Amino acid sequence: MTESRRRVSLWHALLGVASLALAITPLRQLRAQGAAFLLLPIGARSVGGGEAVVADTLGVDGIWWNPASMASMSRGELAINGSQTIEGNSAAIGFARPSRVLGTIAAAANILDYGTQGVTNSDGVEVATATKRSTILILSYATAIGRRLRVGISYKYARDADTCLGDAGACGVEPQFVGASSAVDFGAQYVLPTQLPITLGAAVRNLGPTFQVKDAEQAAPLPRTWQAGASAGVPIAALDTVGLTVNVMADVLGSLAYGGLSVRLGGVVTYADRYSLRAGYTFVEGERSGAALGLGVALSDGMAVDIARRFDSLSSLSGVAPTYVTLRFRF
């Protein structure tokens, strides 16, 4: 197969996914769903690549997107993620340990702090303090089946808590208003037997019972999503000679919570296996559409740092720059 034909096959594989989704009219957005914080992205590398990551290899950060991706890990990894967005400040930690015999076992936790707000009475005097936090806990397992197929499963617990300290009557809620539920994620990746390095990926997330807030009448369905896509290396010999590698990704995500189907496109350029530049674009109905950029540097063989920034209209209106930082340790 000539290089020109390989390039044609590459774009057919990646852009075919995107064109299919764009040709379908998005479904109407349904009523608000419980635990919407489960939809928020985690990880600088995933955000910098436009969230087109279901077929990508993200190390332990794959636990948030496609648990199957962790089956390709050859070393243990600890990742610390932080972000500042319009929703609030998030802090996440993930740990994964691969084994050739047992597969990869991973665990992660994320806390999203929406901030603290003073509550005043009719006289303008602050009489209470209200806080809101969301928590996600995950346990995952991933393994390879043969040389090309990877599968993974995750169990997660999600909790949302509104707390009022002081005059609860002024807050308008109980001293602590809690919602919780559990869910499972399933994922798979398949490496195509072609000369061109192409990986297909798919995941379904947040499958579980309703998000119970207080009673059955106040329960709401979880924001269930599915995501499918492909990643591929771009075979350009001139780049290989200078130590550059290029990978492109394209995903389709389906979720009624997002208003139907949306498309994610991304790419990453890596130099000398040490420096990386990521860019992507997320096509979502409403104000969440926008570009993203990310940078990564391997500080040593076992330590790396990544930073990413989203550029969507909602963030521009709010004045909050959505920034993501990840610190990774491999061992």
The percentage of residues in the chain with a pLDDT greater than 90, rounded to a whole number, is 61
Mean pLDDT along residues 84-97: 95
Which range, of 23-27, 97-101, 120-124, 178-182, averages the lowest pLDDT?
A: 23-27
From residue 93, give the alpha-carbon distance in Å to each of 40, 65, 276, 327. Answer: 15, 15, 22, 10
Dihedral sign for Cα atoms in the order 18, 151, 158, 98 = negative
pLDDT at 100: 86
Q: CATH for 3-330?
A: 2.40.160.40
The model's pTM = 0.84
Which range, of 74-83, 109-118, 177-186, 257-266, averages the lowest pLDDT?
A: 257-266
Could you give the CA distance from residue 133 to residue 115 in angstroms, rounded to a whole number?
8
- Print the SS3 string covering the chain: CCHHHHHHHHHHHHHHHHHHHHCCCCCCCCCCCCCHHHHCCCCHHHHHCCCCCCCCCCHHHHHHCCHHHHHHCCCCEEEEEEEECCCCEEEEEEEEEEECCCEEEEEEEEEEEEEEEEEECCCCCEEEEEEEEEEEEEEEEEEEECCCEEEEEEEEEEEEEEEEEECHHHHCCCCEEEEEEEEEEEEEEEECCCCCCEEEEEEEEEECCCEECCCHHHCECCCCEEEEEEEEECCCHHHHHCCEEEEEEEEEEEEHHHCEEEEEEEEEEEECCCEEEEEEEEECCCCCCEEEEEEEEEEECCEEEEEEEEEEHHHHHHCCCCEEEEEEEEC
pLDDT at 56: 96
Q: Is the pLDDT higher at 33 or at 243? A: 243
Mean pLDDT along residues 162-170: 74
Answer yes or no: is pLDDT of 304 > 90.
yes
Partners of 202 in the beta sheet? 188, 228
In this predicted model, what pLDDT tens digit does every residue of 53-78 receive, in sequence order?
A: 999 999 999 999 999 999 999 999 99
Answer yes or no: is pLDDT of 205 > 50.
yes
Which range, of 99-103, 114-118, 152-156, 200-204, averages the lowest pLDDT?
A: 114-118
The rounded mean pLDDT for the chain is 85
pLDDT at 201: 98
Q: Is the pLDDT higher at 40 or at 23? A: 40
Question: Residue 272 — very low, low, confident or very high, per pLDDT cuts 50/70/90?
Answer: very high
Q: What type of residue sits at position 305?
A: V
Answer yes or no: is pLDDT of 198 > 50.
yes
Could you give the CA distance from residue 195 to residue 133 in angstroms, rounded to a whole number?
48
Question: Residue 324 — very low, low, confident or very high, per pLDDT cuts 50/70/90?
Answer: very high
From residue 89, give the alpha-carbon distance in Å to each of 85, 291, 293. Answer: 6, 21, 19
From residue 119, give the alpha-carbon distance in Å to each of 115, 124, 160. Answer: 13, 9, 20
Question: Residue 266 — very low, low, confident or very high, per pLDDT cuts 50/70/90?
Answer: very high
pLDDT at 174: 62
State the greatest distance between any 2 C-alpha atoms of the chain, in Å, as a whole number: 78
The percentage of residues in the chain with a pLDDT greater than 70, rounded to a whole number, is 82
* Cα 303–chain centre separation: 21
Answer yes or no: is pLDDT of 113 > 60.
yes
Answer yes or no: is pLDDT of 102 > 70.
yes
Mean pLDDT along residues 281-299: 89
Residue 266 token pair: 């991304």
pLDDT at 6: 46
Answer yes or no: is pLDDT of 15 > 70.
no
Please calculate the CA angle 211-213-219 and round it to the nearest 5 degrees: 50
Q: Is the pLDDT higher at 238 or at 184? A: 184
Question: Residue 305 — very low, low, confident or very high, per pLDDT cuts 50/70/90?
Answer: very high
Please calculate the CA angle 273-278-281 and round it to the nearest 5 degrees: 155
Most confident option among 19-28, 220-229, 251-260? 220-229
pLDDT at 218: 66
Q: Is the pLDDT higher at 318 or at 269? A: 269
Q: Are 205 and 222 in contact (CB under 8 A)?
A: no
Q: What is the CA radius of gyration of the chain?
A: 21
